[in-house]
Amino acid sequence: MPGLFVTFEGGEGSGKSTQVAALAARLQAHGVEPLVTREPGGTPLAEGIRALLLDPERRPVPLAEAFLMQASRAQLVGTLLRPALAQGRVVLCDRYDDSTLAYQGAGRGLDAGMLAGWNRAATGNLAPDLTLLFDLPPEAGLERRERAAGTTNRLDREPADFHARVRARYLELAAAESSRWLVLDALRPAAELESQVWGIVAPRLGLPA
């Protein structure tokens, strides 16, 4: 079975993490053991960076935030993603470099071309085979997050216009590269989304949809 690199993107509370876990479980039921990871995070070093980035008591300037994201990403790619893909494994990643273009680019206002160049350097041009965008209005996602977690992280607390810019950039990225991206309505029930995701991914692996 060939390897496959699938990334899951979306705003806060979009349910993408739930769908990562659901797809992993379905793959395991078919005898496929995927590598499941996340950004920022996935390695001890990168998880430490994640804690810094999401800590409500800390507020790095936009450029520092972007540098931290790239450091986390380079570590993840070098130690986990490339080795797994070289072994022909299926990799499911909760966020990847498109998140930087949406959050640090549109959200923080950093230059898109500069960030794209940093992404290429951090990943060594490792691009996903498929990116699933779980799209919903930011206010709906933030309400979900607060209900589920009871607490908010630093990004959750950004103003509404920040989250609106993030969503708009995601949709722009998806439209610009429609061969890689698929946009899913994250307001749909989780079970429906799970079936839809399986119907997209399974045929690529020669598994029954």
- Average pLDDT of every residue of the chain: 94
Report the alpha-carbon angle 47-105-125, nearest 5.
65
**What are the residue boundaries of the structural domains of the chain, listed by start?**
4-205
At residue 151, the pLDDT reads 63
Distance CA 166, CA 98 (A): 11
| CATH of the domain spanning 4-205, picked from 3.30.930.10, 3.40.50.300, 3.20.20.70, 3.30.1370.30 | 3.40.50.300
Per-residue pLDDT band for 54 (boundaries 50, 70, 90) equals: confident
Residue 62 pLDDT: 96
DSSP structure class, residue 80 = I
Residue 150 reports pLDDT greater than 70: no
Any idea which of 58-62, 63-67, 172-176 has the lowest mean pLDDT?
Answer: 58-62
Q: Structure pTM? A: 0.94
Q: Is the pLDDT of residue 205 over 80?
A: yes
Express each pLDDT in 88-117 by its tens digit: 999 999 999 999 999 999 999 999 999 999
What pLDDT does 157 receive?
Answer: 83
- The 3-state secondary structure of 123-182 reads HCCCCCCEEEEEECCHHHHHHHHHHHHCCCCCCCCCCHHHHHHHHHHHHHHHHHCCCCEE
